Amino acid sequence: MLRFLIKFLLLVIVLVAITMLTAQWKLEKDVNSFARVIAPFADFKYESARIGLSGEVKLNSISVYIHSLSTSVEIGELRLFVGSLYDLAFFESNVRHNKLPENAHLILQDVLVPFNSSLLRALENNQTPDSFDLLSAAYCGDIDRIGIQEMESMGYDYLAFSSKEFYMLDKYSGSVVLNGSVDIEELLNLEYQVNIGGVLGWIESMEERAIGQNQPDIISPNLSLLELRIKDQGYNLKKAEYCAAKENVSTDEYYAGHEKKVHEMMSKSGIDMKESFKQAYLNFIKPESALLWFIQPKASFDFEGLKYYTFDELRSEVGLRVAVDGEPVTEFFDGWTPENFSDIANKELVQRAEKDPTKSRYKMVTVTRSYQNVIISRAEQYIDFKVRATRDDGMVYEGKLKKTSPKSLWITLRKQKGEVVIPLARTQIVKFEVYKEDRKTEE
């Protein structure tokens, strides 16, 4: 009997070792395959990849160089869990068949995103500012929003953060729970929880419609709870010093001037800030403030009808609770409606235009899509793009570029009975075009 148990134990150890080696081999194969897929856009490198008995995947010392932005994103450690080794093996297949994992997590440690001119240009917002933008930038010189350029001027040369994201599926209620935290160095710490109800019912209704069953309406998921906890970790002070310098005042004078300007802008649109809210807002914009924002909408609440609610009605329907530095905010506004809030931007922009009518403040960016000639030697950079290839016999093939090789291109063509992939010899292609965006900026 003892000999049998020893043999059985040795067999289990061997099977576990084989399973781990197979899982490790597949992990490295999948990571390298991912690196090849994104190679036209980014260089993905990592120091090591490991998978544990629990099924958790760990990648260490990741570097992602994004070609278009000339930026290298560094990640100290990435940890991913979507279930056991068995669940991980079939994760991709399960997702394709709308089978959600019961729980999962994604943990990123020591992520570093350095700012450079290419990244700043890419993230620059040239759209007309809305009311929220203008209120955030109130009493801050002549700027109309706090964007990435302004943050660089405040002294942010990079973005460094760590995050923990957790997911759980409640099969009994059919809802999904998301919670986690994001800790951004010298900026803020965010903790959140999101409950989304009706997810399984939504998937089921989609599947029934896909197979032709009588399903008149798709059952949409609904937000059942949202809780945010935001702790300032340096942003409020940097913003105060930046704006105070633009207004040539002290930081204390900036806080008072900003609150006064916000109240003035809202009053012009018929919104009156209550005194207790003014004090809460002052506390919120100061260093090391802590904000709690919680909603739990009623089952009867319809987000599509948001614009028809007054603030008090909206607060009641969504169960809004707010606290600043642990003190509940019980009074907010008089006269607030979505239309009035949107009108803040209209009135402020008209007033600024009247003061300086000759100044062109915004740029118009026109985005068009068209076929553009591309050197065929660069075809591998446009996998999954819509392309058009003209052969030397005059035949034109239009479809999605599936893959390439040194001698051929494979293009997916859409036919009446489905899709077909055909190979085209590079030597026979006289013209190769890619369907791409073209951006034109006008003052």
- Alpha-carbon distance of 367 to 22, in angstroms, equals 47
CA 124 to chain centre: 16
Under 8 Å between Cβ of 440 and 365: yes
Structure confidence at residue 83 as a pLDDT band (50, 70, 90) = low
Q: What average pLDDT does range 132-144 have in this prediction? A: 91
pLDDT in tens, 63-74: 989 888 888 899
Q: Please give the share of the chain, as a percent, with pLDDT higher than 70.
A: 81
Q: What is the 3-state secondary structure (H, E, C) of 246-282?
A: HHCCCHHHHHHHHHHHHHHHHHHCCCEECHHHHHHHH
- Alpha-carbon distance of 153 to 176, in angstroms, equals 40
For the chain, count helices (H), then strands (E): 12, 20
Per-residue tokens: 22: 């197979």
Under 8 Å between Cβ of 133 and 226: no
> Has residue 182 got a pLDDT over 90?
yes
Torsion of CA 219, 220, 223, 224, to 10 degrees: 0
> Has residue 17 got a pLDDT over 50?
no
pLDDT of residue 19: 47
Q: What average pLDDT does range 291-300 have in this prediction? A: 90
SS3 401: strand
Fold of 365-442: SH3 type barrels. (2.30.30)
Query: Using CB atoms within 10 A of its CB, is residue 243 exposed (0-12), middle (13-18) or buried (19+)?
Result: buried
pLDDT in tens, 352-396: 777 766 554 555 445 566 788 888 888 888 888 889 999 988 888
pLDDT of residue 20: 47
DSSP string, 168-189: EEETTTTEEEEEEEEEETTTEE
**Which residue has better confidence, 236 or 37?**
236
Domain ranges of the chain: 365-442
pLDDT in tens, 411-427: 988 766 667 888 899 98
pLDDT of residue 285: 94
Q: Which strand ranges, in their side-by-side order, compose the sheet holding 364-373? A: 364-373, 429-442, 386-391, 396-404, 408-415, 418-425
Per-residue tokens: 270: 């018929």
Q: What is the DSSP letter of 129?
A: P
Q: At residue 185, what are phi and psi to the nearest 5 degrees?
A: -60, 130
Q: What average pLDDT does range 32-52 have in this prediction? A: 82
Q: What average pLDDT does range 69-84 have in this prediction? A: 85
Q: At residue 356, what are phi and psi to the nearest 5 degrees?
A: -140, 75
